[in-house]
Each structure stands twice: as structure tokens, then as C-alpha cells.
Amino acid sequence: MSVTAPRGFRASGVAAGLKSSGARDVALVVNDGPDASAAGVFTANRVKAAPVLWSQQVLRAGLVRAVVLNSGGANACTGAPGFQDTHATAEHAASALAGSADDGPAAGTAAGAGLSTIGAGEVAICSTGLIGERLPMDRLLPGVTAAVAGLTADGGPAAAEAIMTTDTRPKTTVVAGTGWTVGGMAKGSGMLAPALATMLSVVTTDAIAGPAVLDEALRAACRVSFERVDSDGCLSTNDTVLLLASGASGIAPTQAELTAAVTEACRDLARQLIADAEGASKEVAIEVVGAADSDDAVLVGRAVARNNLVKTALFGNDPNWGRILAAVGTTTAAFEPDRIDVAVNGVWVCRSGAAAEDRSKVDLTGRQVTIRIDLHAGPDEATIWTNDLSHAYVHENSAYST
């Protein structure tokens, strides 16, 4: 049920003609309340797309009543005109939603009442697709109108489909609390895709929670989920994760309960991203243990995840631990080179920085790969998820000007 699993949300996904394939390309998620609390996490890339700049402003007030998402165009590196396009989209959505609340079937409800006064400043925008080109507003705005008309309480799956780019399947999740629920959707091919690399996610809950509580829950969740997925180290201009709370369950979980549920939802979505990464033949978990601190563990895991020589070796079913050690050696993490142990799929091919068990014992024929690196430098650990580097990756990212 995606983002519409929790009470208080409606969603839709329509085809507006942004994608040449004719597939759904505009999604709308509406929070009917009674609350409209929200939090957001955005790309760390300093080149930020117009919708990211817009949504960061919207989130400052901690109040979001609707999210418009489009595939088929990132609206990044489009200058002031691109920002105006995003603003116009939010204005159009707010106006259409207010109109539908006045006239439509939802009119008498609390939800309708909330939306009848909705302003553009309460509408977050997310875009994904090619960088550097303006969005075709003559198609997008009618698409938003259609998305408003199509809103339903079971529209979550259609919305999840509309945000897909090179994804081969929609990614959704539902996590049950005690009397309240977290739902979510995401798109992105584990950052493996080209200019389509953007990761977008909307997570919803009917729990009662204010913006500060949501913000803490979302940041904690992202740190151990989306931020630990590193497929090719390429950071998009558009990455956005939003958390919306309707309060419709009437239940206010503790911070810890909410954080746990949001974390579970984000982890589930993150793993789905890696599993669907374009051109990947392996899903790789890099478990770094024995680190002096958590930052060191993440640093080492990322260095290995981003190393093209490690990634191509995995594609070739080669447990090349020497490349792994060489990648670890490029970091500033605390470790002694002659104390590091490395296991590939459970076989400790490297002990104390030198060859140990016979590498021919390692079975790399399956899709799941676990690399375990023991730094012997402390008590902390972290897991980074990544993919191999395959011919299909090169093909996908070179053959299409996307």
C-alpha cells in the first residue's frame, strides 16, 4: 500500500507525457491530516536542483500538505527559470487541491477543510530525470491537475510507479506500529543510473508527531539506511527523502518507537534500491568491524564500495582481497595494515594483512556477497551496501544520453 498504508493519506500516479514511453510520470501524495507535520533530508551535493532548493524552504516550517513528484526531468542546472517552474508547479498543485476540496467529495471532511486553504508553501516538489533541461510545463501542469483528480486512499502503488525512472520495479514498504503505521515509497537504481541517478523517497505515518520528532527520526533512519547505500559514489543533484505525519491514528509513539519504525521502513527501501540497481549482478554488503569509531567504519566501507577494481573483481567472481586491502589503505581510518583480516562470503582469505585461507574456497557464484573487514582497531562497526561494476553498468550509462 505504499504511502497510503497509514491513515490520512491519499495518493495518485498519472501519465502526463513527460516520459516518451507513455508510462506514469507524475505522482501526488496528499496529507489529509488532521496534522501536516513533516521533515526532510536532501542531497549533500552543492549543485542542487530547483525542486530541492524549493522543498528545503518549504520544510523549514515543518509543514507539508502535499508532495508533487515527477520523473522524466530533474529540473537541475536550469537556473532561475527552473526555480520559477518549480514554484509554478507548487502554486498549480495548491490551487487545484484547494479547488477540489471546495467542490469535491472530500469537502465536508477535516481533510477537505485543511486543503481548502492550502498554499504553495505547503507543497513540496521532487523531480528526477535528465539534468540541464527545462521541464515541459505544458504537460506537467495538466498532469498535476489530473493527479489531483485521481487522488484515492489506495493510490500509493500508482504513485510509486509514477516516480520510477530506470527502476525495473516500484519500491514500497509498510511497517506496523502499535495502532499506527509507517508507509513509504522510493525510486532510484541504487545511484547506479546515469543522470537518472536520483534517489527520491516519501515516507508517511499516521502517528502523532511534531516536526522536531519527525526530523530526529528521519535523520537517524537515513544515517543507517539510505546513507549507507553507495552504488557508484555518484551523488545526485536531486536526492530527497520526506517524512510526513497525519496524526490520523490518534496515537503518539515515543521518539524511540517512531525512529525504530521509520528506520525499518528506510532500510527496507534502501535494500530494494540496491537489489534493483541497474546493471548489477551482485548485491554486496561490506561489513566493517573492529573500527575505532562508527565514522571510521563507514569511511572504510565506502572506500571499498567505491573502488572500481574491487567492483570489477566481484563482477568477475574473483575474491581479490588484495584490492580490498589496497582500498582500505587509501583511508585515514585507524588501523595497522598488518593486523587487518578480510573474509569474503565467510572465508577468511586474509589474516593479519596477508594471505590466509585458500581463495578457491570462496563461492561467488550467487547474487549475494558479504565482505567482512576486521580492522582490529576498536569496538565499532558499520555495513555499507553496494553493487559490482558490470558491462551492463557501462552500457546503461554510456549508450543513452539520459
Q: Is 240 annotated as a binding-site member?
A: no
300 sits near its own copies (criterion: CB under 8 A): no
Given 176, 212, 256, 355, the residue binding its own copies (CB under 8 A): 355
Is residue 334 at the binding interface for its own copies, with CB under 8 A as the rule? no
Greatest alpha-carbon span in the chain: 73
Distance CA(65)–CA(117), nearest Å, equals 10
The cell 485521481 sits on which residue? 150
Element containing residue 296 per DSSP (H, E)? helix 294-305
Verify binding: residue 313, its own copies, rule CB under 8 A.
yes
Is 131 an interacting residue with respect to its own copies (CB under 8 A)? yes
Does 57 engage in binding with its own copies (CB under 8 A)?
A: no
Least distance in Å: CB of 193 to its own copies?
Answer: 9
Backbone angles phi, psi at 312, to 5 degrees: -75, -35
Q: Is 178 in the site for its own copies (CB under 8 A)?
A: no
Burial label for 383, CB within 10 Å (0-12, 13-18, 19+), is middle
DSSP string, 334-370: S--GGG-EEEETTEEEEETTEE-S-GGG----SSEEE
Q: Does 2 contact its own copies by CB under 8 A?
A: no
Give the active site residue among 198, 240, 259, 386. 198
Binding flag, residue 309, its own copies (CB under 8 A): yes
Q: Where are the alpha helices (DSSP H) in 234-292?
A: 255-275
Residue from 20, 21, 22, 79 touching its own copies (CB under 8 A): that is 79
Is 161 or 232 the residue whose CB approaches its own copies more closely? Answer: 232
Q: Does 325 bind its own copies (CB under 8 A)?
A: yes
Other Cβ atoms less than 10 A from the Cβ of 339: the count is 14
Q: Which of 109, 168, 254, 352 binds its own copies (CB under 8 A)?
A: 352
Nearest to 33 by CA among 90, 109, 103, 101: 109
Which residues are registered as beta bridge partners of 9? Answer: 31
| 198 in catalytic set | yes
CB atoms < 10 A from the CB of 323, how many? 19
DSSP conformation letters of 379-392: SEEEEEEEE---HH
Site membership for its own copies, residue 358 (CB under 8 A) = no
Alpha carbon 54 to chain centroid distance? 18
353 binds its own copies per the rule CB under 8 A: yes
Residues in 226-255 that interact with its own copies by CB under 8 A: 232-237
By CB under 8 A, tell whether 328 contacts its own copies: yes
Which one of the spans 65-73, 152-160, 203-211, 327-335 is the region binding its own copies (CB under 8 A)?
A: 327-335
Instruction: Determine if residue 317 is labeled as part of a ligand binding site.
Output: no
CA distances from 11 to 2, 62, 68, 119, 176 (A): 9, 20, 10, 18, 19
**Which of 196, 229, 222 has the alpha carbon at shortest distance from 73?**
196
Residues contacting its own copies: total by CB under 8 A: 63
Contact 315, 401 (CB under 8 A): no
40 is a contact residue toward its own copies (CB under 8 A): no
CB-wise, 258 or 273, nearer to its own copies? 273
Determine, following the binding rule CB under 8 A, whether residue 194 of this chain makes contact with its own copies: yes
Q: Of these, 179, 308, 346, 361, which contacts its own copies (CB under 8 A)?
A: 308
Write down the least CB distance from residue 160 to its own copies, Å.
Answer: 25
Per CB under 8 A, 354 contacts its own copies = yes
Residues near its own copies (CB under 8 A) are 44-48, 74, 76-79, 82, 130-133, 194-195, 197, 232-237, 306-309, 312-313, 315-316, 318, 320-323, 325-331, 335, 337-338, 350, 352-355, 389-391, 393-395, 397-401
Catalytic positions, written as ranges: 198
Annotated binding-site ranges: 165, 187, 198, 278, 397, 402
